[in-house]
Amino acid sequence: MRRIVAGMAAATMVLVPLTPALAEDLPPVQPVIEIAPEPEVPTLGPDLPAEVAPTEAVSAVVRTDDGTLEVATAPDVAALEQQTADDTVLAVDTPTRRYAMALPADDAGRDLQWGLNRLQAEDLWQRSNGSRVTVAILDTGVKASHPDLKGKIDKGYNAITNKAGARADNNGHGTFLAGMIVGKTNGSGIAGLAPGARIMPVKVLDSEGVGDSDDIARGIIWAVDNGADVINMSFGADTSNRVEAEAIDYARGAGVTLIAAGGNEGARLEMYPAAYPGVLGVGATDFDNKAASFSNRGSHIDVVAPGQGILSTFNGPKYTWTSGTSMSTAYVSAIAALAMSYSPGAGGEPLLQQIVATARDLGEEGRQTDTGAGMVDPAALLQQMGAGRAPGMPRDIAATGTPEGVARLTFTPAGGTTYVVRFKKGKKAPAGPSSGAKVAEGAGNWEPVTVELSGKNANKRYGFAVFVFGPSGTSRAVATLRPANWTLTESRSVPRNSTQKLQVGLRLPIFGWIGGWPLQLTTRQGGGNENVRRFVPSADGPDTFTVRDMRWSFHYQFTLLAPGFWNAASPQESQWINTTVSAKRGGRITGRVTPSKAASEVQLQRRAGNDWKTIATTQSKPNGRYSLPAKQGALRVYSPADLWHGPAANEL
């Protein structure tokens, strides 16, 4: 046996016959035959709308000689007149474009699911939602009672105990993957990429996310025999196993679509089952469309998909965040379900080949060891399968806000489209092209667009919606701005050791600490340069940072930047540590500057009218002690502010 580890993943006419008696009393009815006049074929001229130009394309609904209705279209009026000369023209007009409306997901966490944007989920749902497809998740089981999964989970099978049922999860990994695939678009929680599909849970991993290859083989065979269309395997090890391989071959022979995780070691390391023939190996990408730092490299990586900072369902708290090739694999399994739902004859290795063939290069052209054939492109996949071109939902939509109240939206509209940007205050973005306030519009040409709105309240929530009108319909993409709740350490003074510890993290109601999202922490001291730190937090709680080399007197500001949030900033403050200078007359004037970190300037001053004139200067020792010559008159000892303390004076 081999141990396997999960990768954190008309109207009706009624005829009543007459009774005989009634029939005898009635006089014979002579049939009346009405002869309709020969219909006059109308000319098009009077029927045309006044605004139709003679050379403009025009169409008509006509009744032909056999009584059927047809629609005739011609490049101009003259051609249509000739085409419909023998028909009865019922209506004439110029063709106008109609758009299919996007099916929006307004779930509470939809704006946080950047992977759905990257994969153009709302475009896909206009063509397929995964219905009639069963995805077997071979994993730790699935919490079937989760509100986003309820009614979507079959009974399943526990391959470890060889018993029916896997509708519980004592780890959470399987539940997380299920949400990514079939999470309900019900207005709360999160949305899955193939919400119409069903999940067949097959437990092959224990509470620690570890399983044996024989249990995995048993689970694969059971899933095949019980009607699985897709098998998601978000686990792996770096050695093959003959029993497991035989089960994979059995599934291949049955035409089941097999998808597996590429591994999270961040190394050139082939993992199984991803490396078996007939299995699609999946790597992970980050927010920047680059291979995630943890994603393995090698010939077993066929494609990549979003896998960093993913929000989904969980079995402890209802939702959590995590990263891994497990997550990327779940997205690809959902894509396979969408394809098979759209085209029921699709599946198996031919479908895997189509997924690879339609992937988009990331960087250099051709296959790469870290990204395979590139980013999966489900819109291109469905187009290749006959669904037509997708409307063109922006993949990179994002919103940020500044402490000054500027709400900023960025996105890249596809070429050959037009767009309208709508904006509104509240938890949800505008639902339709006429809701909210129109704040921008234009034509897409694959160039980035930035929309900025000033005068907004950084403590309130706002939503942007971009409606894109493409060749085949209308698409909607959303981005919201949420207040960023984060705290600096409560100390109101700079510690004597000139360091400051900061706890930085983003915590949301319902969804908890955000993990895996790229955050940027900026600190500035005085008029100095900004110090920018980019980091990826975990979902376990806030990250702690130490800001070193703080000064005893300075101006400072801390800011935190995260996509989807207001740029949280502490107010700019001036901090002057309370400094004292003691002074004692004797043969010399002596004393001490407190506190002290290094040698500081100390001045002996004599009153001159309403001012003070410096008559002697010295440097204190590192411990703050100083010595100045004795002088006559109204004197004071003065220590000006420097890097290590604020100003202080003592009159003698």
User: Is 389 or 588 the better-scoring residue by pLDDT?
Assistant: 588
The count of other CB atoms within 10 Å of the CB of residue 98 is 8
Burial of 333 (0-12, 13-18, 19+ CB in 10 A): buried
Section 591-596 average pLDDT = 88
Residue 541 has pLDDT above 70, yes or no: yes
Q: What pLDDT sits at residue 563?
A: 85
Q: What pLDDT sits at residue 497?
A: 47
User: Is 9 or 392 the better-scoring residue by pLDDT?
Assistant: 392
The count of other CB atoms within 10 Å of the CB of residue 45 is 9
Section 245-269 average pLDDT = 96
What pTM was computed for the model?
0.77
Active site residues: 139, 173, 326
The tokens describing 571, both together, are 């107010």
Q: How confident is the model at residue 547 (pLDDT cuts 50, 70, 90)?
A: low
Residues 225, 585: Cα–Cα separation, whole Å: 99
Q: How confident is the model at residue 73 (pLDDT cuts 50, 70, 90)?
A: confident
Section 95-112 average pLDDT = 64
Q: What pLDDT sits at residue 68?
A: 65
Residue 261 has pLDDT above 80, yes or no: yes
Question: Percentage of the chain with pLDDT > 70?
Answer: 82
Q: How confident is the model at residue 253 (pLDDT cuts 50, 70, 90)?
A: very high
If you compute the radius of gyration of the chain from its CA atoms, what whole number of angstroms results?
Answer: 36
Residues in a beta bridge with 569: 559
Residues 430, 436: Cα–Cα separation, whole Å: 5
Query: Which string of DSSP letters, residue by residue, matches 354-407?
Result: HHHHTPBP-SSSS-BTTTBT-B--HHHHHIIIII-------SS-EEEE-TTS-E
> Could you give the 3-state DSSP secondary structure of residue 131?
coil
Across 2-16, 214-228, 606-620, least confident range: 2-16
Residue 33 makes CB contacts below 8 A (sequence gap 6+) with none
Residue 23 has pLDDT above 60, yes or no: no
Residue 274 has pLDDT above 80, yes or no: yes
Section 1-30 average pLDDT = 40
The tokens describing 394, both together, are 């922006």
Q: How confident is the model at residue 316 (pLDDT cuts 50, 70, 90)?
A: confident
Q: How confident is the model at residue 527 (pLDDT cuts 50, 70, 90)?
A: low
Across 170-184, 434-448, 492-506, least confident range: 492-506
Kindly list the distances between the CA atom of residue 143 and the CA atoms of 140, 176, 215, 648, in Å, as whole numbers in the listed order.
10, 9, 20, 66
Residues in a beta bridge with 501: 546
Backbone angles phi and psi of 25, in degrees to 5: -75, -20
The count of other CB atoms within 10 Å of the CB of residue 623 is 11
Q: What pLDDT sits at residue 566?
A: 87
Backbone angles phi and psi of 124, in degrees to 5: -65, -40
Residues in a beta bridge with 61: 71, 91
Section 601-628 average pLDDT = 94
Q: What pLDDT sits at residue 491?
A: 44
User: Is 419 or 484 the better-scoring residue by pLDDT?
Assistant: 419
Backbone angles phi and psi of 288, in degrees to 5: -95, 15
Q: How confident is the model at residue 598 (pLDDT cuts 50, 70, 90)?
A: confident
Q: What pLDDT sits at residue 396?
A: 95
Residue 526 makes CB contacts below 8 A (sequence gap 6+) with 551, 554, 555, 556
Residue 296 has pLDDT above 60, yes or no: yes
Kindly list the distances between the CA atom of residue 362 and the CA atoms of 41, 46, 250, 372, 381, in Å, as whole numbers in the listed order.
60, 57, 34, 9, 17
Residues 245, 216: Cα–Cα separation, whole Å: 10
> Could you give the 3-state DSSP secondary structure of residue 328?
helix
The tokens describing 113, both together, are 């699911």
Residue pLDDT, tens place only, 340-372: 999 999 999 999 999 999 999 998 888 899 999
Mean pLDDT of the chain: 84
Residues 597, 622: Cα–Cα separation, whole Å: 6
Q: How confident is the model at residue 526 (pLDDT cuts 50, 70, 90)?
A: low
Residue 596 has pLDDT above 50, yes or no: yes
Residue type, 419: Y
Q: What pLDDT sits at residue 635?
A: 95
Across 18-22, 162-166, 381-385, 587-591, least confident range: 18-22
CB 180 within 8 A of CB 114: no
Residues 102, 122: Cα–Cα separation, whole Å: 6
> Could you give the 3-state DSSP secondary structure of residue 589?
strand
Residue 273, preceding peptide bond in cis (omega within 30° of 0): yes
Query: Which string of DSSP letters, residue by residue, matches 87-114?
Result: SEEEEEE------PPP-----TTGGG-H
Q: What pLDDT sits at residue 62?
A: 66
Q: How confident is the model at residue 57 (pLDDT cuts 50, 70, 90)?
A: confident
Residue type, 505: G
Q: Which of 357, 360, 365, 366 is nearest to 385 (CA)?
A: 357
Section 81-104 average pLDDT = 65
The tokens describing 520, both together, are 């940027």
Section 280-287 average pLDDT = 96
Residues 150, 524: Cα–Cα separation, whole Å: 49
Section 478-501 average pLDDT = 64
Q: How many residues does the chain have?
A: 652
Burial of 2 (0-12, 13-18, 19+ CB in 10 A): middle
Q: What pLDDT sits at residue 494?
A: 46
Q: Which of 424, 534, 433 is nearest to 481 (CA)?
A: 424
Residue pLDDT, tens place only, 210-238: 999 999 999 999 999 999 999 999 999 99
Residue 151 has pLDDT above 60, yes or no: yes
The tokens describing 96, both together, are 């106008």
User: What are the structural domains of the chain?
Assistant: 45-93 (no CATH), 110-387 (3.40.50.200), 404-476 (2.60.40), 500-576 (2.60.40), 580-651 (2.60.40)
Query: Which string of DSSP letters, residue by residue, matches 482-539?
Result: B-------S-SS--TTS-EEEEE--EETTTEE--S--EEEEEEETTS--EEEEE---T
Residue pLDDT, tens place only, 37-49: 433 333 444 444 4
Q: How confident is the model at residue 141 (pLDDT cuts 50, 70, 90)?
A: very high
Residues 461, 565: Cα–Cα separation, whole Å: 9
Residue 317 has pLDDT above 50, yes or no: yes
Residue 643 has pLDDT above 90, yes or no: no
